[in-house]
């Protein structure tokens, strides 16, 4: 395996496997001349709603935009403080702030999930993230602290976990190219059972105003194209098999790591409910391992180098101090490449080199 190069994502491999079907779908749309809000958008939204066991799915430009739509719908002058987890992509916090909310930051547990005991006292909404694909603890999804708190999932990383169960008021999902179920450009969707949010979102993505509470919200242009949706419908035929393959690789790596002192964030407590978006290990000397694997031709990533409150726009937020669990994760966690197109020999090479270098 000397000289082997393993990229962090399998996008080129996936495309090569689906190339004929993707090009056929693209050609069908372009020849039709119907490029926006047509039959493929309707099919894809119907598939998404059914997959998520929900009444409505509204596609839009990105997962971040989907979360901003939900935040805009919930916006109220007397109800404007949200709590987000410290370990997440900054887009989670950005979407709420852009919609006019006061953002507070909660600490995480050892798996990166929101620690409810640290949710700010003024928060009326929590926005949990299933970090790395970890399923949320749904015991708190409706009433995590008390009955006045609303749960909105930033489900970009975890929406395929635990049979795609949705338990909060709404969820934002993403089809970013790095995700398990990926678009070639961008894309996202609002998932909800609320007919009011469905109507609001459909107006919002088409630049129409919509009355909510005592205010009038204005929207923007934020849609997935017919080409996007047609290509995603091709991928609906394969997503379950892709998820099975990710699970096989994760289970093998778990078994190899169980014989060492290396902790993985997919383990026996969460394996069955995980969606294997990332395979993350918690190790001493993380940066040295990152460099060693790079030198061996294995691309790895750090998710995330800093908690939200360490980023410049959020340093004034109510948030955990330097002793918070989130800081330990940010210093120790390394994401290994995991995707269904990895061959058995590539998967074995990755874990062999990790064990040799640690």
pTM attached to this predicted model:
0.93
Residues 136 and 282 in one domain: no
> Which residues are CB-contacts of 350 (< 8 A; sequence separation ≥ 6)?
6, 253, 298, 336, 337, 342
Query: Average pLDDT in the 243-259 region?
Result: 95
**Domain boundary, last residue among 235, 261, 294:** 235
Kindly report, residue by residue over 303-332, the tens digit of the pLDDT: 999 999 999 999 999 888 877 899 999 999
Is 226 in the same domain as 247?
no
CB-CB contact of 82 with 107 (8 Å): no
Q: Is residue 308 part of a domain?
A: yes
Q: Are residues 241 and 209 in the same domain?
A: no
324 part of a folded domain = yes
Whether residues 33 and 91 fall in one domain: yes
Same structural domain for residues 288 and 302?
yes
Domain boundary among 211, 235, 259: 235
Q: Which of 213, 235, 257 is the last residue of a domain?
A: 235
- The total number of structural domains in the chain stands at 2
Residue 263 lies in a domain: yes
Q: Does residue 7 belong to any structural domain of this protein?
A: no
Is there a single domain that holds both residue 195 and residue 307? no
> Both 218 and 277 in a single domain?
no
Identify whether residues 352 and 258 lie together within a single domain.
yes
> CB of 212 within 8 A of CB of 83?
no
List the Cα angle 154/159/160 in 5-degree steps.
165
In a domain, 2, yes or no: no
210 and 64 together in one domain = yes
Radius of gyration of the chain (CA): 20
pLDDT per position as a tens digit, 19-60: 999 999 999 999 999 988 899 999 999 999 999 999 999 999
Q: What is the pLDDT of residues 183-223, one digit of tens each?
A: 998 999 999 999 999 999 999 998 876 666 555 677 888 89
pLDDT tens, 86-129? 999 999 999 999 999 999 999 999 999 999 889 999 999 999 99
Assess whether 220 and 120 both reside in one domain.
yes
CB-based contacts of 8-11 (< 8 A; 24+ apart in sequence): 8/299, 8/300, 8/301, 8/335, 8/337, 9/177, 9/178, 9/337, 9/339, 10/337, 10/339, 10/340, 10/341, 10/342, 11/177, 11/182
Domain that includes residue 133, residue range: 21-235
Same domain, 156 and 293: no
CATH number of domain containing 127:
3.40.640.10
Same domain, 69 and 29: yes
> Does 15 fall in a domain?
no
């Amino acid at each position: 395996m000397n000289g082997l190069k393993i990229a962090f994502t399998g996008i080129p491999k996936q495309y090569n496997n689906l190339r004929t079907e993707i090009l056929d779908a693209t050609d069908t749309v372009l020849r039709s001349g119907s490029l926006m809000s047509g039959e493929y958008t309707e099919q894809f939204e119907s598939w998404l709603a059914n997959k998520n066991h929900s009444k409505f799915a509204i596609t839009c430009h990105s997962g971040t935009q989907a979360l901003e739509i939900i935040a805009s719908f919930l916006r109220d002058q007397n109800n404007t403080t949200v709590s987000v987890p410290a370990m997440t992509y900054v887009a989670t916090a950005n979407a709420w702030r852009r919609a006019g909310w006061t953002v507070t930051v909660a600490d995480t547990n050892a798996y990166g999930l929101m620690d409810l005991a640290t949710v700010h006292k003024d928060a009326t909404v929590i926005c949990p993230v299933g970090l790395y694909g970890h399923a949320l603890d749904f015991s708190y999804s409706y009433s995590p602290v008390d009955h006045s708190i609303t749960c909105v999932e930033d489900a970009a990383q975890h929406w395929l976990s635990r049979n795609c169960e949705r338990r909060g008021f709404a969820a934002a999902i993403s089809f970013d190219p790095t995700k398990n179920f990926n678009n070639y450009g961008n894309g996202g969707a609002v998932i909800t059972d609320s007919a009011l949010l469905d109507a609001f979102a459909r107006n919002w993505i088409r630049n129409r105003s919509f009355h909510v509470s005592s205010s009038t919200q204005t929207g923007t242009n934020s849609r997935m194209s017919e080409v996007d949706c047609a290509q995603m419908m091709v991928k609906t035929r394969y997503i379950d098999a892709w998820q099975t393959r990710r699970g096989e690789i994760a289970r093998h790596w778990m078994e190899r790591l169980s014989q060492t002192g290396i902790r993985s964030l997919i383990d026996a407590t969460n394996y069955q409910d995980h969606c294997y978006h990332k395979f993350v290990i918690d190790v001493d000397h993380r940066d040295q391992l990152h460099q060693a694997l790079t030198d061996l031709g294995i691309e790895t990533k750090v998710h995330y180098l800093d908690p939200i409150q360490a980023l410049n726009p959020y340093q004034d937020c109510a948030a955990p101090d330097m002793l918070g669990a989130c800081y330990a994760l940010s210093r120790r966690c390394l994401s290994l490449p995991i995707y269904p197109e990895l061959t058995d020999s590539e998967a074995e090479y990755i874990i062999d080199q990790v064990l040799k270098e640690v």
